[in-house]
Structure 1
Amino acid sequence: MAAFEKVYDRTNTRSVKWDMRKNVFQTDNVLPMWVADMDFQAPQAVNDALIERAKHGIYGYTTIDSDVRNAIISWISRRHSWEIKDDWLSFSPGVVASLHMAVQAFTDPGDSILIQTPVYTPFYNVIETHDRTIVKNPLRRKDHYYHIDFDDFEEKLKTGVKAFILCSPHNPVGRVWTEEELKEMARLCLKHDVLILSDEIHADLIYPGERHIPIASLSDEIAAQTITFMSPSKTFNLAGLQASYIISSDKQKRDLLDKQLNNQGLNMINTMGNIAMEAAYQHGEKWLDELRNVLQENKAYVVERLERETSKLKVTKSEGTYLLWIDCSALGLDSEGLKKFMSKTAGVGLNAGAGYGEEGEMFMRMNIACPRATLQEGVRRIVKAVNNRQ
């Protein structure tokens, strides 16, 4: 676990998380635990592969060859028991970019697209930027755990929804959907002919003992109704290398999406992203399993300390991601006051829950993918600020 204990200085590296603190929080005096990247180095095999490639010194146009594709196919098979084919794969710089392309390829201005709120902030932009209409199926919370309201889900689909953007595992609430939940969502989408756009970027970041199931792996019929978006970027801390892929078994849909990607010049990944993806999927498995244990321990640490040292904050029960969704409603602050309290009083930079929809206004999102020393300091600051306020 030593690789996950060292504290690295990320300042002056053009890090969004660390070097944009003043822009985001109006002060440099915050410990950043917000944007979804990790304060851990990528697997050594990835760094070695990148260094070796850099020695060549020429960075021309790069093809995505069979070695890269086979690395993806093998990874999906080993980690998620889903057998995909080479020609199902398309590529783009990132999942959000791919979602923009899919919305344009498969829906028209004015069409309705369903999301399950509170949800990843860019989903709103992906829909509204292209003059589509957001339809919400709010997740239901009971005992600090989120569930799907399937009655509401179907009622919303009946209104003429054209596509459903699924967040699986869910960001920010951390749910890893069960097979039963996935089957029911898929059944209703098939019944009402709604395309499933499944963002599965956090697929590998689940806690030990849990299982992520790609919704398209459930049946050939569901696969044909689904476009799946994946990437090693969250899994191996490679977000800055901009490499993602799309899985679609239906040729007609795949051709439409590829045409949209080609038209926008987003049908490729850069040289270093190409190298990193192959190396991560070929050699990063042991690193990932160690990471998952670290994240589980980090989550347990935060939950235990907050429960023991303050009654004002409650961590949502979750099965995946390195993001904790914290209920701060007992502080009695509005969303803006809560944001200022965490950044100015506690000195910790978290994501304000209001950014994920009105359902998140009393919440904050904490990134726990950091060394234990960083986590301890962040929790100490928060607990001190909360207890001083009482």
Structure 2
Amino acid sequence: MSLPEISPVGPLLPAAPTTSLLATKYPGAIGAWVAEMALGVSEPIQDALLRETRNGTLGYNDPISIQAGREAVTRRMRDCYGLDAAPEAVGFVSDVVSGFAAVLRHFLSPGEAVVVPTPAYSPFLTVPRQFGHPVIEVPGSYGPTGHRMDLDGIDQALATGGRLVVLCNPHNPTGRSFTTDELTALAEVVEAHGARVFSDEIHAPLALTSRHHVPYACIGDAAAHHSITATSASKAWNTAGLKCAQLIFTSTTDVTRWQTVADFYVRSVSRLGVAALVAAYEEEAADEWLAKTLVRLRHNNNKVAEAVARTMPGIGYVPAESTYLAWLDCTALGVGTPAAYFRERARVAMCEGTEFAGQGYVRLNFALPEDVLDQALTAMARVVREVMSQ
């Protein structure tokens, strides 16, 4: 299965510097592990950062810049996704994981269990335990159209004491973009138990198909009331190091509660991150950069799907619907730690599936320059053929 081929538009974008985390953690290997793009940063964001530097505004955030950030977020959410929230309902945190920790601390009672559908972004599995919350893992299922949440399993987990369901949509690591029907079904299960949802929607702008992102909070009044949405410009515009994410509260009770602790969390937010956020959401050229980047990501997603189908016998891949992450089923290789195996034999560094509670899988970041991705896929194919021929 592959996505429709889309021809590149305009000149290629610059690649990331070779000193990025993606490129340096595993010397001598192609970096395809951490979820950041090796495709550069848009000019409007670079200009915004230079402007802050030239103006000497590298101190703390001020109320004017924070308010500008809140208004940029609310406009973006309304215009792109139909999520209508007032500026005061937008809370600033340094990143989504910190936002998740804040929700656990302030919106969950001590000792209450967190339900995590798996595979899952690893902090969702580890952070709750650090705050004294047991984790109930609910493995999903796989089929021809990819990953599916186990709603019956989530229902059972909530019935046995789970109070918060973690939703990652678009999904990391599988690249699924959940449908309105799927989200509605989840909302009905959660509401029936009087539970809550933490919805990580950081990859929302990275749609790789014609189906647009649907915020969980837009499913209905019940979903809006029992959920807290986490978002950021950092994945789509490649600014994760600038430390600026948001929690969007769609319950008036939650807004009131957050305002009692908001000042503590805004102190951890970078002023440069806020400037980059406003530029990403407000500048037309930043949207043009994202459009070009999406063309490249769709092309690369196709390239991964075609390479797996044609040159990697036994490896499974359902093309991502969003994100720039490929979730590869390597169980047929019979290797306990396939990411480590590929890193040693193919010199391609990917994430081990066990980090996400996905034994036998690897997560490949395909947000790479095309020639680098080609090298990675060729090396991986060679290793797969060697293993499968034994």
Instruction: Give the TM-score of the pair, scaled to structure 2.
Output: 0.92
State how many pairs are aligned: 376
Q: Contact (CA 8 Å) 2:228, 2:249: kept in 1 or not? A: yes
Q: Contact (CA 8 Å) 1:172, 1:324: kept in 2 or not? A: yes
From 352, 372, 380, the equivalent of 2:370 is 372
Amino acid at match of 1:363: Y
Q: Contact (CA 8 Å) 1:17, 1:35: kept in 2 or not? A: yes
Please state if 1:40 is matched with 2:42: no
Is the deviation greater in 2-11 or in 96-105? Answer: 2-11
- State the Cα distance separating 1:214 from its structure 2 match: 0.5
- State the Cα distance separating 1:4 from its structure 2 match: 4.2
Corresponding residue for residue 89 of structure 1: 90
Amino acid at match of 2:322: G
Q: Contact (CA 8 Å) 1:144, 1:315: kept in 2 or not? A: no
Corresponding residue for residue 19 of structure 1: 24
Q: Contact (CA 8 Å) 2:173, 2:363: kept in 1 or not? A: yes
- State the Cα distance separating 1:381 from its structure 2 match: 1.1
- State the Cα distance separating 1:70 from its structure 2 match: 2.2
Amino acid at match of 1:355: E
- State the Cα distance separating 1:50 from its structure 2 match: 1.2
Give the Cα separation in 1 of the matches to 2:345 and 2:237: 33
Deviations 1:316-373 (A, max 9, x none): 34311100000111111113xx23311110100000001101xx11100000111111
| CA 239–8 in structure 1, closer or farther in 2 if over 3 Å, else same | closer
Amino acid at match of 1:204: P
Corresponding residue for residue 25 of structure 1: none
| CA 189–3 in structure 1, closer or farther in 2 if over 3 Å, else same | farther
- State the Cα distance separating 1:266 from its structure 2 match: 4.6
Corresponding residue for residue 120 of structure 2: 119
Give the Cα separation in 2 of the matches to 1:4 and 1:210: 25
Amino acid at match of 1:278: V
Corresponding residue for residue 3 of structure 2: none
Is the deviation greater in 127-136 or in 103-112? Answer: 103-112
Q: How does 1:184-199 map to 2 (within 5 A)?
A: 184-199=185-200
- State the Cα distance separating 1:251 from its structure 2 match: 2.7
| CA 267–61 in structure 1, closer or farther in 2 if over 3 Å, else same | closer
Please state if 1:384 is matched with 2:382: yes
Please state if 1:349 is matched with 2:357: no
Corresponding residue for residue 24 of structure 1: none
- State the Cα distance separating 1:5 from its structure 2 match: 5.0
3-state SS in 2 of match to 1:365: strand
Amino acid at match of 1:345: R
Corresponding residue for residue 29 of structure 1: 28
**Runs of 4+ more than 6 Å apart:** none
From 306, 309, 312, the equivalent of 1:304 is 306
Corresponding residue for residue 317 of structure 2: 315
Amino acid at match of 1:349: A
Please state if 1:326 is matched with 2:331: no
Corresponding residue for residue 6 of structure 2: none
Is the deviation greater in 172-181 or in 380-389? Answer: 380-389
Amino acid at match of 2:38: D
Give the Cα separation in 1 of the matches to 2:268 and 2:221: 27
- State the Cα distance separating 1:306 from its structure 2 match: 1.8
Give the Cα separation in 1 of the matches to 2:145 and 2:380: 20
Q: How does 1:208-357 map to 2 (within 5 A)?
A: 208-263=209-264, 265-267=265-267, 269-283=269-283, 284-335=286-337, 338-357=338-357
Q: Contact (CA 8 Å) 2:209, 2:322: kept in 1 or not? A: no
Give the Cα separation in 1 of the matches to 2:181 and 2:137: 21
Amino acid at match of 2:342: M
Give the Cα separation in 2 of the matches to 1:33 and 1:88: 36
Q: Contact (CA 8 Å) 1:62, 1:271: kept in 2 or not? A: yes
Amino acid at match of 2:383: A
- State the Cα distance separating 1:267 from its structure 2 match: 5.0
| CA 128–200 in structure 1, closer or farther in 2 if over 3 Å, else same | same
Instruction: Give the TM-score of the pair, scaled to structure 1.
Output: 0.92
3-state SS in 2 of match to 1:202: coil
- State the Cα distance separating 1:6 from its structure 2 match: 3.9
- State the Cα distance separating 1:275 from its structure 2 match: 0.7
Amino acid at match of 2:371: A
- State the Cα distance separating 1:261 from its structure 2 match: 4.7
Deviations 1:160-209 (A, max 9, x none): 21111111111101111100111111111111111111111111111130
Q: Percent identity?
A: 26
Q: Contact (CA 8 Å) 1:4, 1:370: kept in 2 or not? A: no
Give the Cα separation in 1 of the matches to 2:233 and 2:384: 37
Corresponding residue for residue 57 of structure 1: 56
